[in-house]
Amino acid sequence: PFTSFMVSVSEFADAALNFPILFVRAAPDALGRDTVAPVAVFGLKPGENLFATAEGQWDAGYVPAMLRAYPFTMARIEGSDRWAIVFDNTWEGMSRTEGVPLFNEQGEASELLNNVHKFVQDLESDLERTRQACAALLEMKVLKPMRFDATLANGEALSVDGFMTADEEAIAKLSDTQIAQMYRNGLLGLLQVH
């Protein structure tokens, strides 16, 4: 099970009602710059998901868009600026004999595939906005590394690190112009929800 999963900026308000949202370091971008990604946290221990039942059902009021899209996503076609819809054909929910077909008898995309395509295309656009927002937060230096230490009710010690949160001191030092800009471009709202 997933301990955390990426969420897009348009999901912050809904996701935050159910899960903590933190920022984690991600792979460097094409220019080698540091990046971060926002994630909804489902558990504190590796492999722990407090929102997945023993039967594998989802038990939360919100499902992140990337999980809703699964097993489909978009992938850039190597060496071009074109994208393709791709899917995990090893997923047990995929079948060649049962369910709703992806293509009709004429080989055209079915209504299901057209709806999935629109969803993952919109999601990819939202993820690009998320990458831009996270790059701006890093550039403004308003995120800081954090560590969480706790003792559970059963006496077990728990330490979680490797994540970033809003740096209240850094935000407080921003100029009024910077705060106004962050308000207008939605970054301040994202940090408040986070």
pLDDT tens digit string along 106-141? 989 999 999 999 999 999 999 999 999 999 999 999
Token pair for residue 173? 């030092």
pLDDT at residue 154 is higher than 90: no
**What is the pLDDT averaged over residues 36-52?**
90
166: helix, coil or strand?
strand
Count CA atoms within 13 Å of residue 101 on its CB side: 9
β-bridge mates for residue 143, sequence order = 166
Q: Taking phi first (over 0 means left), then psi (-120 to 50 degrees means alpha), and beta for anything else, what does residue 164 get?
A: beta
Separation CA 193–CA 85 (nearest Å) = 31
Separation CA 164–CA 109 (nearest Å) = 42
Give residue 1's pLDDT.
Answer: 60
List Cβ<8 Å contacts ≥24 apart for 140-145: 140/170, 140/174, 140/178, 140/182, 140/187, 141/167, 141/170, 142/166, 142/167, 142/170, 142/171, 142/174, 142/191, 143/23, 143/36, 143/167, 144/170
Provide the pLDDT confidence category of residue 151 given band limits of 50, 70 and 90.
Answer: confident
Task: Check if the beta carbon of residue 12 is closer than 8 Å to that of residue 23.
Answer: no
Q: Range with the lowest mean pLDDT among 63-67, 111-115, 154-158?
A: 154-158
Positive or negative: CA dihedral 16, 126, 100, 70? negative
Give residue 121's pLDDT.
Answer: 93
pTM (predicted TM-score): 0.84
**Other residues' Cβ atoms within 10 Å of the Cβ of residue 148:** 13
Task: Check if the beta carbon of residue 49 is closer than 8 Å to that of residue 1.
Answer: yes
